[in-house]
């Protein structure tokens, strides 16, 4: 692989609008320049000219597995252990269902109050559907380790907290969980493309993540699901769709799961969205995650120092310790929503998470020191100048 220098070689590979400092790549990654050409080629040359033949001739059918292997490298997973498709909400549902089946005698799912709501909602839905008396137990993120016990069936957590950027110790929690016979399901929404992940080395059982955040594959891009190879042949696919069947084109009347992670496919994959993901992975294939992490931590430290020096009203909620944080920096501020609107109006795009968190994503492929310092200057203008008081910034949009 030719290796790209993070930022120096990569910034020019993205479309970034003039006058914008984009600190929301943790929510929707920036557009790689190769995407438009790739998607339009798939539309015209594959869909247009090949029509139905493209499932074979352009490899559409096998793409979810091939793309899974490219993501596997970024998350420390074995080749053949990652499948692409659907959305993250569905993938955590599948992973949790399979994990619960492996521990039929235990009834408690342990998660934390920093988990993303959809993960918790999907668990509630699954519990209702199973009707076997499972319970979702939520503790504070700091209490997860102490809450592990032989009563717990599944540890079901997100490695990096979407609001605060706090990071769990995956190696330690997985080892402690396994010592108590607990199956682990990790959500990597804020990890994949943000920091090195070592699923195989940690012995994680299941993991899932999305590709439209740090992986820059565009709105609605497909999610991924990891199943540890030693579980993949026995894990039950709760969403037993035809593409996860052992012989989808035999059109048998009864379901029989495909071997390995292939069984976690559900239905027809989103071919156009996968084309965008492939174009984005053309960049990621040439990136060393250790370089991304080193840059991310340095840029995070810089943003923290600059904002704390300029804006004492903003309270850092992200852990300072490198090992304990992901690739975002968040501050609590009572007027955070309006302040973020004022920042966006001045070209600094971050986002807001209720009740009072201003989030700034650090994406070193296209954000460098200059952008961070300039963003901090504008944050100071907005906060010190009380720009957030203006009425136009008080109007709350559907998506915050």
- Give the interface with ligand PLP as residue ranges (CB under 6 A): 87-89, 116, 118-119, 158, 162, 187, 189-190, 210, 223
Q: Contact, 95 vs 122, CB < 8 A?
A: no
Tell me, rounded to whole angstroms, the distance of Cα 396 from its chain centroid: 25
In terms of CB distance, is 106 or 265 closer to ligand PLP? 265
Q: What span, in angstroms and rounded, lies between the C-alpha atoms of 78 and 219?
A: 27
Name the residue nearer to ligand PLP (CB basis): 110 or 210.
210
Q: What is the DSSP string of 110-138?
A: EEETTS-HHHHHHHHHHHHHH-S--EEEE
Least distance to ligand PLP from the beta carbon of 267, Å?
A: 16
* Smaller CB separation from ligand PLP, 118 or 286: 118
Residue 282 Cβ vs ligand PLP, minimum distance, rounded to whole Å: 22
359 is catalytic: yes
Radius of gyration of the chain (CA): 22
> Given the complex with ligand PLP, which of 162 and 388 has the nearer CB atom?
162
Q: 116 an active-site residue? A: yes
Which of the residues 212, 333, 360, 366 is marked catalytic?
Answer: 212
| Burial (CB count <10 Å: 0-12, 13-18, 19+), residue 9 | middle
> Which has the closest alpha carbon to 379: 300, 299, 320, 310?
310
E-strand stretches of 215-287: 224-227
Q: Report how far apart the first and last C-alpha atoms of the chain are (Å, whole number).
A: 39
Taking the complex as a whole, the smallest distance from the CB of residue 111 to ligand PLP amounts, in Å, to: 11
CB of 27 to ligand PLP, least distance (A): 7
Q: Which of 24, 112, 161, 187 is catalytic?
A: 187
> Residue 70 or 213: which CB sits closer to ligand PLP?
213
Report whether 321 contacts 301 (CB < 8 A). no
Q: Is 255 a catalytic residue?
A: no
Q: What are the helix (H) ranges across the chain? A: 34-41, 49-50, 54-57, 63-74, 88-102, 117-130, 144-147, 170-179, 199-202, 229-232, 271-284, 289-310, 336-345, 369-384
Select which of 167, 295, 359, 393 is catalytic: 359
Residues 6+ apart with CB under 8 A from 210: 87, 88, 189, 192, 221, 223, 224
Question: What is d(CA 355, CA 351) in angstroms, rounded to the nearest whole number?
Answer: 12
**Least distance in angstroms from the C-beta of 350 to ligand PLP:** 15
Nearer to ligand PLP, 210 or 358 (CB): 210
Non-local CB neighbours of 324 within 8 Å, separated by 6+ positions: 166, 167
- Measured CA to CA in angstroms, residue 360 lies from 240, 350, 374, 378 at distances of 39, 5, 13, 13
Beta-carbon contacts of 8 under 8 Å, excluding residues fewer than 6 positions away, are none
Nearer to ligand PLP, 187 or 278 (CB): 187
Considering the complex, state which of residue 183 and residue 223 has its C-beta at the smaller distance from ligand PLP: 223
Nearest-approach distance from CB 163 to ligand PLP, in angstroms:
10
* Beta strands at 31-32 and 21-22: parallel, antiparallel or unpaired: unpaired
Minimal distance in Å, beta carbon 88 to ligand PLP?
4
State the catalytic residue, choosing from 116, 224, 331, 360: 116
Question: What strands, in cross-sheet order, belong to the sheet with 82-84?
Answer: 82-84, 224-227, 206-209, 183-187, 152-158, 108-112, 135-139
Torsion (CA) 265, 271, 272, 274 in degrees, nearest 10: 50
Q: Write down the least CB distance from residue 115 to ligand PLP, Å.
A: 7
Catalytic residue ranges: 116, 187, 212-213, 359
């Amino acid at each position: 692989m030719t290796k790209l220098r993070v930022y120096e070689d990569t910034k020019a590979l993205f479309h970034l609008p003039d006058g914008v400092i984009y600190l929301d790549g943790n929510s929707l990654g920036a557009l790689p320049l190769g995407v438009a050409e790739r998607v339009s080629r798939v539309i015209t040359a594959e869909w247009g000219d090949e029509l139905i033949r493209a499932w074979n001739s352009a490899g559409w059918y096998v793409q979810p597995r091939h793309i899974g292997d490219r993501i596997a490298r970024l998350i420390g997973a074995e080749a053949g252990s990652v499948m692409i498709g659907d959305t993250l909400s569905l993938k955590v549902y599948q992973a949790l269902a399979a994990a619960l089946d492996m521990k039929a005698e235990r009834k408690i799912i342990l998660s934390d109050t920093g988990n993303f709501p959809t993960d918790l909602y999907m668990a509630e839905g699954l519990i209702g559907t199973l009707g076997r008396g499972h319970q979702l137990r939520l503790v504070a993120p700091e209490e997860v380790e102490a809450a592990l016990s032989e009563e717990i069936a599944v540890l079901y957590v997100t490695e990096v907290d979407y609001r605060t950027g706090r990071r769990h110790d995956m190696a330690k929690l997985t080892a402690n969980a396994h010592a108590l016979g607990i199956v682990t399901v990790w959500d990597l929404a804020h990890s994949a493309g943000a920091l090195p992940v070592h699923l195989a080395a940690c012995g994680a059982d299941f993991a899932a993540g999305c590709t439209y955040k740090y992986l820059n594959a565009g709105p609605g891009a497909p999610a991924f699901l990891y199943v540890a190879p030693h579980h993949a042949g026995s894990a039950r696919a709760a969403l037993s769709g035809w593409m996860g069947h052992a012989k989808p084109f035999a059109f048998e009347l009864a379901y029989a799961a495909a071997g390995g992670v292939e069984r976690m496919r559900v239905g027809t994959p989103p071919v156009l969205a996968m084309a965008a993901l492939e174009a984005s992975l053309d960049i990621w294939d040439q990136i060393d995650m250790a370089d991304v992490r080193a840059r991310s931590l340095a840029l995070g430290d810089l943003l923290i120092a600059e904002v704390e020096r300029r804006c004492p009203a903003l309270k850092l909620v992200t852990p300072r310790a490198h090992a304990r944080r992901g690739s975002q920096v968040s501050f609590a501020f009572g007027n955070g929503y309006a302040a973020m609107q004022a920042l966006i109006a001045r070209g600094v795009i971050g986002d807001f998470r209720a009740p009072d968190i201003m989030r700034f994503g650090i994406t070193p492929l296209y954000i460098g020191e200059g952008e961070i310092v300039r963003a901090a200057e504008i944050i100071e203008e907005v906060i010190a100048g009380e720009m957030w008081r203006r009425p136009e910034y008080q109007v709350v949009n559907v998506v915050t």
